[in-house]
Every structure is written in structure tokens, then in C-alpha cells.
Amino acid sequence: MKKMELHPNKKLVLKNVILKEIRDSPLHDWDLRIDEFHQFLDKQRPQTFGPVVIATLGSRIEGDQLTQNYDLMVQAHDYKKFGFTNKIAERFERSNCVYLRFEGHPDDMAFANSKLDLYFYENELTSDGSEYSIVLEETENHTVIDFFRPVKAT
């Protein structure tokens, strides 16, 4: 198994972005919302380049239900055509991120978050509460995901 290496002070830059905001969504709807975004891509057929980026932006407890906020993003050459149903941005950027690439069995992916958490703790850093995940490869037994976790400005 390859070791996960952390790289501080990295920048995530996306261009020509179609962005779908999902707010206060029940945690159990996670897969459904992602499937809906993939269906949108299949149906509308934007000229995409690069994988889907998932921005996890935080969660909260409402009564007895855990809800989550996240954005689904994809880069597309013809992104401006999709501004009527989604937010769009010519450029999306997050600076001062800690970057980690996870490569291994999907069941072991929790180690990536643990390693990021430990790095932040040991270096007395605070996250801004968001994390950007880019799934580069995904099969039943193997996955490759890039994680970008922004450091909160002091």
C-alpha cells in the first residue's frame, strides 16, 4: 500500500465551473444528490473536463436529523450555458490548503481524513470547515481521491 503524503500550502484552482449548491440536506440523501448531479450532466451534456469536485461545507443537527451543506462542481468549456439552473464561475480558487492524495481500498478512506486531522492538530492549524474531494478513480476495490482542506486564516 502506498503511503499518503501531505503537502501544505497548496492551491485548488478550477476554471469554467458549473456549481450546484446543496444546503441543509439530510445526510442519508448524499448519494441521491450526487446521482441527481450526474443525471443532470448526462442529460444536459456540458462539455466537461476533469472530474466532479465535491465541496463539503459543514453540517448541523436539526432536531434529531443531521443535515449537510455541500457543493458539487464540474469544469465545462460551455459553462455559461448552464447559468440558468446552477451557479457558474469563470474561476474558483481556494488557497492555503493542505493537500493529500489517497490511493487504496475504499474501506480505508477514513485514514485520509484521520491523517489530515492529525496534521492539523500537530501543526496547530484550524480548518476553515470545508474540504474539497476530487475522485480521480473509483472501483469496488480501488479508489484515488485528492483532498484539499483549507487552513483558516488567522
* pLDDT tens digit sequence for 38-82: 888 888 899 989 999 999 988 778 778 888 889 999 999 999 998
Mean pLDDT, residues 102-121: 94
> Chain-wide mean pLDDT for the chain?
90
Kindly tell me if the per-residue pLDDT of 1 is higher than 60: no
For the chain, first and last CA: distance in Å?
A: 36
The DSSP call for residue 4 is: P
What 3-state class would DSSP assign to 60?
strand
Q: Which domains does the chain have, with CATH numbers?
A: 6-150 (3.20.80.10)
Interval 11-45: pLDDT, tens:
999 999 999 988 877 777 878 888 888 888 888 89
Interval 117-138: pLDDT, tens:
999 999 999 999 999 999 999 8
pTM: 0.87
| Rounded Cα gap, residues 4 and 103, in angstroms | 8
Cell digits for 31?
Answer: 448519494
Residue 2's pLDDT band, with cuts at 50, 70 and 90, is: low
